Amino acid sequence: MDLKPHLRGRNLKWNWDSITKHCVENPSSIEDILAYCIDEETIIQQNAGAVLGKIIDLDKKVLIKYEQRILDLLKTNPHDAVKRAAMRVFQFIEIDEEVEGQLFDMAMTYVNNPEEAIAVRAFGMTAARRVCEKYPELANELLPPIEVMVDQKLSSGIVNRGEKELKILRKLTSELQP
């Protein structure tokens, strides 16, 4: 099935749901979705990003083998929809040890960038925190930018997410102290 014509369609939930279901049932089509995330057409990028972010809702394991590819997508500075979807994926997927450092660095870049979309920053907080759970010493790097965002009250979503992440991160750092 050629997904590109379907991705060119309007941003409709039923369309994304249909493509997402197809991708989960036919995992080889995930390669196409990843390629479309950097397509020259903005609408294709946006819709491919939306599908990527929804795949994780249907199957938390199908994207595991694509972790590096998803991180490589982020290095191309794709459309915000793709960044948002990728960071959303890393909130839920089992993170492979080989990508943890890259993921943490990318998520920190998003969290620290005031020009980044709110959802990208919020999802980045959680993705980075998940790495901190394995490496608690990294929590000291993530705490300050989240505290600033919460104090600035950038959005209700940032405040809500930030307060939850701060609670977890503070617990991690307190466990480090003798």
Give the per-residue pLDDT at 123.
96
Q: How confident is the model at residue 11 (pLDDT cuts 50, 70, 90)?
A: low
Summarize the confidence of residues 67-78 as an average pLDDT.
94
pLDDT greater than 70 at residue 10: no
Summarize the confidence of residues 79-102 as an average pLDDT.
95
Residues 6+ apart with CB under 8 A from 89: 52, 53, 55, 56, 63, 70
What is the identity of the amino acid at 74? L
Summarize the confidence of residues 117-127 as an average pLDDT.
96
Q: How confident is the model at residue 134 (pLDDT cuts 50, 70, 90)?
A: very high
> N- to C-terminal Cα distance for the chain?
58
Read off the pLDDT of residues 43-63 as tens digits, 9 standing for 90 and up. 999 999 999 999 999 998 999
Distance, CA of 158 to CA of 3 (rounded, Å): 34
Give the per-residue pLDDT at 17.
87
- Report the chain's mean pLDDT, rounded to a whole number: 92
Residue 59 backbone class (left: φ over 0; alpha: ψ -120 to 50; beta: rest): beta
